[in-house]
Amino acid sequence: KKLLVLALPKFVASLPTSEFPLEIPRCQKRNFLHTNTLYATLKNTVKKTIIILTLAILTSCNFYDRKEEVFMTDQDYVENDRQFSPDSSMVLINYSLDLGAFGYGQAGTAILKLSDTTKNLRGFTIPNTLTRVKWIDNENISAQFDILPSLRTGDKVELKDIEINGIKVKVSALDYIDKDDHKEIEHRELSPNGQFELVAYRYLKNRSNLNFIHISVIPVGGQIPKYGNYLIADMQSDYVLNGTWTEKNELKFYSNSQYSDLIQYYLVNDREKIGYQIVTDDKEYGSKYRWTKKSGI
């Protein structure tokens, strides 16, 4: 399957072109044109068939068809990291499964006694919604739950401590805002009708290490919410790289071809009923991933 994926582009590219020699006798020109059209149609059909067959083969592979159990001796098992408890009696193991040409998937973190390392890891694995897992002491572990997706969707966040293999996992919220961070406004603009303000801001310690952008639309003179009420980006990018109001009191967001299609996934569901449009401008924003003119990134 991996070879098929790698070979497909080369095979399609190797197909002869549909162009025939230009020097064609007049008496044969009509036949050549007819043949040329048929050949071009056949070539396109062959290409489409190859692509469809390849996709069918790939999508028929169900990655979850593997056995449910995960053992360290499995051929697709990959250990990413391990942390021993202070007394070294237990170990936290972060692992993933090798999906071959498709990379790594189904990552997890297991809480194990040393005698558990030969057992099925599934029974000792913490929920994959938890991150930044580390030992507090020999009986407790801290973990964080990323609340940003819930803030975007409006789902209620419920944080509950759990216990796995006799170890208590203390769960706290992760919003990527540290106690010593301060709010810095990148852009603030009044709407043409004077009713709203567009505010783009982020939390940071200094300009050398920028956090992601929050975008809010607030009534004039209103308080800026802690989290963006229109869009909340993430550590990968701000996705919206600049923004302004239009004459119709709607928002115009600027982005590049890498991020513009992703903006929709970072909008807050319960945002102000103000429309937006996206302008993709690779000339101006092609190399950027943060909304800021101060640092040039």
Quickly list DSSP for 172-225. Answer: EEE-S--TT-EEEEEEEEE-TTSSEEEEEEEEESSTTS---EEEEEEETTPPPP
Report residue 59 as tokens. Answer: 């999508």
Whether 264 contacts 153, CB under 8 Å:
no
Whether 227 contacts 215, CB under 8 Å:
no
44-51: long-range contacts, CB 8 A cutoff, minimum separation 24? 46/15, 47/12, 47/15, 50/8, 50/11, 50/12, 51/8, 51/12
Give the rounded distance of the alpha carbon of 7 from its chain centre: 28
Model confidence at 90: pLDDT above 80: yes
State mean pLDDT over 284-288.
Answer: 92
Neighbouring CB atoms inside 10 A of 235's CB total: 8
State mean pLDDT over 226-236.
Answer: 97
- Report the alpha-carbon angle 126-132-133, nearest 5: 45
Model confidence at 270: pLDDT above 80: yes
Report the distance separating Cα 220 and Cα 199, nearest Å: 11
The whole-number pLDDT of residue 252 equals 98
Model confidence at 30: pLDDT above 60: no
Whether 272 contacts 229, CB under 8 Å:
yes
- The set of residues, in sequence order, having a beta carbon less than 8 Å from that of 177 and lying 6+ positions away, is 203, 211, 226
Report the distance separating Cα 259 and Cα 148, nearest Å: 19
pLDDT 10s digits, 56-81: 544 444 444 566 888 988 888 899 99
The whole-number pLDDT of residue 206 equals 85
